[in-house]
Chain A
Amino acid sequence: MNGVLQLEWYRLAAAYVFVIILIIMVRIKKIPREREVLLSTVRMTLQLIIVGYVLQYLFTQANAWMTGLIVLLMLAFAIYTLFKRSKHPLNRQLKKLIAISMTSGILASLLFFLLVVIHKTPWYEPSYVIPVAGMLIGNSMTGIALGVNTLAQGMSSRRSWIEGSLMLGAAPKEACREIINQAFDAALLPTINSMVGMGIVFLPGMMTGQILGGASPIVAVEYQIAIMLGILGSVSLSVMVFVQFAYKAYFNDRQQLVLVEEPRQMVK
């Protein structure tokens, strides 16, 4: 296989023509989104340039503590983003559960993936750990966000149904079983759907990146299969821990349904 083709700066700049086309289109259609399109393009560009230099530096520093710290920082940022972007109010107990479920699910899957599947020496090689951690964290964040929304919506819209079950003598977990299952389902569905379409409907980003980087398609596919299974493990573990305990945040110690109504700032 050939090595990676270097992109000239003006060729990369040419890719921004798509942004210009989009801005012209929203202007013609009078959709007030020019500012968002511009801002997101600038943010994406700056963030990726910064992360490129940071990764270049980190990849030369094969240090277990440094790598661990970066993974924890990525995890903390993902948890913070989830709190900020939740459509539903989250109380302290729910926030704690989100943090615990994401940390436990992601770290358990990541360690298994690094130590058993990749089996690279040293195991903390940043050029492996950081991209893999990024994919596990990103997908788990999406899964938990969907789980939180489905659970919160179910608890609120099916209040009389839950209370009717409690009146019949159901334990809170039994009364919310259907909502818990729906939340688990909603959280896992995007990962399952992407597995179904993979290779036929689209070529995943990591695999495309490896092929463009000069790797053999077979090696790229091997890595892609492994990472998809790792993502499935990470998402399902995180979501499983979350939904198994999150319903408790909606009940007080007398097993009465109390809806979460903590005031919070709206995210624009």
Chain B
Amino acid sequence: MALFELRKVRYREVLHVHELNIEAHKVTCILGESGSGKTTLLQLLNEMITPDDGTILYRGRSIAHMDPVLLRRECVMVPQSPVIFSGSIRDNLGMGLKMSARAPATDDEMRESLRAVCLSKELEEAADRLSGGEKQRLCLARALLMSPGVLLLDEPTAALDEATSLEVLTSITGRARAEGISLIIVTHSRSAADLIGENIIYVHQGKIVSREVVSS
């Protein structure tokens, strides 16, 4: 059974998807230029927005009939602009678990999640003093710590230089594979998609124009 199935989905004039299946336990990269509808596609998957027409199935169930809060706890999304809460790095890491009614994490688990995004910081440090790229990685670590079924990442390393970006993406992918997390990553970097993607979906002007399965 596919993780997500989209059938004749339309959202305003931004996105028209005739048919799309996204597989579970894979790294799926959504590639495309700015304004092509990539973020819209991601937001549709965890119901931050609702399509005007069509059906979206998550593990065979229509998301229109699911509790959106429970769906978002299962399919956690990290937006491109980092959302940082007041307090320390520890507070921020714990916030995802708290908000999604999960059990709190130990300091060791928190440090492990920071390592997975290549961020060497102390848990006590003030989160709002981090640079843009560090904040983005903190958001990724927070989402990883939640260990959800699906992680939806919108340009997760846009604020990083290419070398660090590839390092972080490789590390996240490894962690996700180890924990059985399905990854859906929006990116405009072909090199990043080639490095980590198992399935690559290319979006152009609101339409899926090609799908590729990358052989390992």
Please tell me if the beta carbons of A256 and B48 are within 8 angstroms of each other in the complex: yes
Residues in A144-199 with C-beta less than 8 Å from chain B = 160-161, 163-171, 174-175
Please tell me if the beta carbons of A256 and B73 are within 8 angstroms of each other in the complex: no
* A-side contacts of B76, CB under 8 Å: 167-169
> Beta-carbon contacts of B75-101 to A below 8 Å, as 1s and 0s?
011110101010000000001100111
Interface of A is mostly: helix
> Beta-carbon contacts of A248-268 to B below 8 Å, as 1s and 0s?
000000111000000000000
A171 to B85, CA, bound (A): 16
Query: Which residue from A161, A168, A175 sits with its C-beta under 8 Å from B142?
Result: A168
B-side interface residues, number (CB < 8 Å): 27
* B-side contacts of A175, CB under 8 Å: 99
A256 to B68, CA, bound (A): 9
Q: A160-B79, A160-B83, A161-B83 are in contact. Are A168 and B48 (CB under 8 A)?
A: no
Please tell me if B50 contacts chain A, counting CB pairs below 8 Å: yes
Please tell me if the beta carbons of A174 and B68 are within 8 angstroms of each other in the complex: no
| Closest 9 pairs between A and B when the two form their complex, measured CB to CB | A164-B83, A169-B73, A169-B100, A170-B99, A167-B77, A169-B72, A255-B68, A168-B96, A168-B99
23 A-B Cβ contacts within 8 A?
A161-B85, A164-B83, A167-B48, A167-B72, A167-B76, A167-B77, A167-B78, A167-B83, A168-B77, A168-B100, A168-B142, A169-B70, A169-B73, A169-B76, A170-B69, A170-B99, A174-B99, A175-B99, A254-B50, A255-B69, A256-B47, A256-B50, A256-B68
